[in-house]
Amino acid sequence: MAGENYTRMVEFILIGFSDVPKLQGFLFTIFLIMYVNILIGNGLIIAITKTDPALQTPMYFFLGNFSFLEICYTSVILPKLLTNLWSHNKNITLLACAVQLFSFLILATTECFLLSVMAYDRYVAICKPLNYPVIMNHKFCVQLVVASWISGIPVQIGQTYRIFSLSFCGSNIINHLFCDIPPLLKIACGDTSMTELSVYIVAVLFAMVSFVLIIWSYIKIITQILKLPSATGRYKAFSTCFSHVTVVSLFYGSIGIMYLRPKASHSEATDKVLSLFYTIVTPMFNPLIYSLRNKEVIAALRKLLLK
């Protein structure tokens, strides 16, 4: 009995898609294809933003960093999920679970900040075009990216510590695809209300503040676009923002549905499907979103592939 309790304290079991055993091989193939597409698609975006002279601008500098972030984001989740599907071994150690949660939180926070930075870049480009090269100089762009990556680290260290300071004495089974806060709180013992409160405060602090900054930027952008005299000018100005608006909508829309819907409508199966959108589906479609309507990206991709 003592040995069983000790095992429960040092490792968890990630259920994942164990409830559909006949689909394990099919799901492994699908997720492997998606992961390869994410690596190739985002890798190509990184390559062209680093090598093509026409893309050496702040917008594409941020896009390259965003693509690198997406690769890191999915690499925290998908390799373990693929291993679970292939080997049928669902175990994950307490330390590995903590590292996965911490990495996921840091990368999600970075994505929020980086999307805000990209919105600010579009705001300066459209609303202050004459001062754009001065304001968005390379040093400032690097500072914005570094700040996006490191700003959330101290807070998320505290978040991860609070979660894994809880006692998991009832069960070690996590009915989810990866170590996330809601499924971990479900299996924690004792009163978790203060931990849940801190989670919501941090979510508001990071996700909502960055979302408000994005909305503010686009209110200013739309106001400026409507002042343009020609329809062609308005279309051209808005087309530079279309890809970013689409990515923001997918990211915040899926997270909002996942975490802000009423508790009564929560189900573990639905949570798994929704989590796939912001951890796998959105990073897979981002390269397509940024390239389909962007002639500069398409031209750079053609040159790279011809080489």
Domains of the chain: 2-306 (1.20.1070.10)
Give me the pLDDT at residue 5, please. Answer: 42
Query: pLDDT band for position 8 (50/70/90)?
Result: very low
Segment 194-203 mean pLDDT? 83
Given a contact cutoff of 8 angstroms between Cβ atoms, the answer to whether 185 and 101 are in contact is: no
pLDDT per residue over 272-297, tens digit each?
A: 877 888 788 888 888 888 776 677 78
**Pairing status of strand 91-93 against strand 173-174:** unpaired
Given a contact cutoff of 8 angstroms between Cβ atoms, the answer to whether 220 and 123 are in contact is: yes
Give me the pLDDT at residue 278, please. Answer: 78
Helices (H), 189-279: 193-203, 209-226, 231-260, 268-276
Question: Would you say residue 211 has pLDDT above 50?
Answer: yes
pLDDT per residue over 169-187, tens digit each?
A: 767 888 888 888 888 888 8
**Pairwise CA distance, residues 69 & 136, whole Å:** 21
Given a contact cutoff of 8 angstroms between Cβ atoms, the answer to whether 156 and 206 are in contact is: no
**In the block, residue with structure tokens 């890191």:** 72
**In the block, residue with structure tokens 């962007």:** 294
Segment 203-230 mean pLDDT? 85
Query: pLDDT band for position 13 (50/70/90)?
Result: confident
Given a contact cutoff of 8 angstroms between Cβ atoms, the answer to whether 145 and 106 are in contact is: no
pLDDT per residue over 221-259, tens digit each?
A: 888 888 877 777 677 777 777 788 888 888 888 777 766
Give me the pLDDT at residue 262, please. Answer: 60
The pair of structure tokens assigned to 40 is 């190739």
Question: Would you say residue 6 has pLDDT above 50?
Answer: no
pLDDT per residue over 152-165, tens digit each?
A: 888 889 888 888 88
What average pLDDT is seen over the chain? Answer: 83
Question: Would you say residue 68 has pLDDT above 90?
Answer: yes
HSE, CB side, 13 Å, CA atoms: give it for residue 262.
Answer: 2
Given a contact cutoff of 8 angstroms between Cβ atoms, the answer to whether 8 and 172 are in contact is: yes
Give me the pLDDT at residue 119, please. Answer: 92
Segment 32-60 mean pLDDT? 90
Question: Would you say residue 128 has pLDDT above 80?
Answer: yes
Q: Which of 108, 204, 83 shows the shortest CA–CA distance to 160?
A: 108
Q: Sheet holding 11-14: strands in order across?
A: 91-93, 11-14, 173-174
Helix (H, G, I), strand (E, B) or coil at 13: strand
Give me the pLDDT at residue 171, please. Answer: 75
Share of the chain above pLDDT 70, in %: 93
Give me the pLDDT at residue 4, please. Answer: 44
Question: Would you say residue 3 has pLDDT above 60?
Answer: no
Given a contact cutoff of 8 angstroms between Cβ atoms, the answer to whether 39 and 71 are in contact is: yes
pTM for the whole thing? 0.87
Question: Would you say residue 67 has pLDDT above 80?
Answer: yes
Give me the pLDDT at residue 9, please. Answer: 55
- Helix (H) or strand (E) segment spanning residue 174: strand 173-174
Residues in the chain, overall count = 307
**Pairwise CA distance, residues 174 & 187, whole Å:** 7
Long-range contacts of 159-166 (CB under 8 A, 24+ apart): 159/105, 159/198, 159/199, 159/202, 160/98, 160/101, 160/102, 160/105, 162/195, 162/198, 163/98, 163/101, 163/195, 164/94, 164/97, 164/98, 164/101, 166/190, 166/192, 166/195
Give me the pLDDT at residue 149, please. Answer: 92
Given a contact cutoff of 8 angstroms between Cβ atoms, the answer to whether 84 and 272 are in contact is: no
**Pairwise CA distance, residues 204 & 109, whole Å:** 11
Give me the pLDDT at residue 2, please. Answer: 43
